[in-house]
């Protein structure tokens, strides 16, 4: 059965999908959706911001980077329909965080188990390179998503940009973040009280932060990130769940 999102999370996702705040990203996501890739010329591309996806009761939060031009920007679901997603969802299935190893389209029956996926940027950026202003504009969406996932204990950051943006997001929520450096397999513990200025985030939270190379084709095709390496990080994340 499809997962029903709680109303606050559903409303946030509707707000994300309707966002037009970054002109460069709006123009590019629509251009990609219009020109398409030859292999997907029969597809009706999503061509909008991509909301988070997964189990609203999740204890594990995966942090990606941005939608792929012909992946999530086509399908409307994070890590769905491209090589990165194929690599990631197969690993989530092997480690018990997904009910199936493939991710073709939004209605393919995939469900995440005790896991949710978010991104610091919701629109596909040209050349896969967001600029600072775009990340700053989009960051509140990620903060609100984290605040609306009350059981999250572990944040697994896929890549250095995801790691940096996760720390910036948590600082913006009022958490004191010690000095951290991205490296594959690194693990950090943080705790603190989110500020009262944001009622969504006004609670104590203790979180573990894990680092993993992003499952991009550049990393997986070169062996920088192997299935075994990703499995080890996901299994470590499971050991941290209480």
Q: Is residue 1 part of a domain?
A: no
- The confidence score (pLDDT) of residue 31 equals 97
Taking CA atoms, 35 is separated from 19, 23, 128, in Å, by: 21, 18, 17
Residue 2 domain-assigned (yes or no):
no
- The token duo for 66 is 């941005």
Q: CA angle, corner 163, sides to 79 and 12, nearest 5? A: 55
Q: Return the CATH number at 208.
A: 3.40.470.10
- Give the neighbor-by-neighbor strand order of the sheet with 53-54: 53-54, 115-118, 60-63, 154-158, 204-212, 187-193
Please, what are the averages of pLDDT over each run of 10 residues along the chain (242 residues)? 80 98 97 95 97 97 97 97 96 98 95 98 94 97 95 97 96 88 96 52 72 97 98 98 90
Pairing of strands 154-158, 53-54: unpaired
- State the total domains in the chain: 1
Tokens (6 digits) for 104: 């073709």
Judge whether 161 lies within some domain: yes
Residue 30 belongs to a domain: yes
Residue 163 lies in a domain: yes
In a domain, 236, yes or no: yes
The pTM is what?
0.93
pLDDT for 192 equals: 62
pLDDT at 178: 85
Please indicate, yes or no, if residue 93 is contained in any of the structural domains.
yes
Q: Which domain holds residue 128?
A: 7-240
**Residue 118 falls within a domain, yes or no?**
yes
Phi, psi of 125, rounded to the nearest 5 degrees: -95, 150
């Amino acid at each position: 059965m499809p997962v029903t999102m709680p109303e606050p999370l559903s409303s946030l996702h509707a707000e994300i999908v309707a966002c037009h705040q970054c002109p460069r990203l709006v123009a590019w996501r629509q251009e990609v959706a219009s020109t398409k890739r030859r292999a997907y010329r029969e597809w009706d591309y999503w061509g909008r911001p991509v909301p988070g996806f997964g189990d609203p009761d999740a204890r594990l939060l995966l942090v990606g980077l941005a939608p792929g031009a012909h992946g999530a920007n086509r399908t409307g679901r994070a890590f769905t329909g491209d090589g990165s997603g194929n690599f990631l969802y197969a690993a989530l299935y092997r480690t018990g965080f997904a009910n199936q190893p493939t991710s073709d389209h939004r209605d393919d029956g995939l469900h995440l188990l005790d896991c949710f996926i978010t991104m610091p940027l919701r629109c596909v950026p040209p050349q896969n390179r967001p600029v600072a202003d775009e990340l700053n504009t989009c960051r509140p969406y990620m903060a609100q998503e984290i605040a609306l996932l009350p059981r999250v204990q572990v944040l697994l950051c896929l890549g250095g940009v995801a790691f940096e943006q996760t720390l910036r997001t948590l600082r913006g929520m009022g958490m004191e973040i010690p000095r951290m450096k991205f490296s594959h397999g690194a693990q950090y513990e943080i705790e603190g009280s989110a500020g009262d200025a944001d009622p969504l985030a006004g609670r104590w939270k203790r979180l573990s932060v894990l680092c993993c190379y992003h499952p991009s084709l550049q990393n997986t095709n070169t062996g920088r990130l192997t299935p075994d390496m990703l499995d080890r990080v996901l299994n470590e994340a499971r050991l941290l769940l209480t």
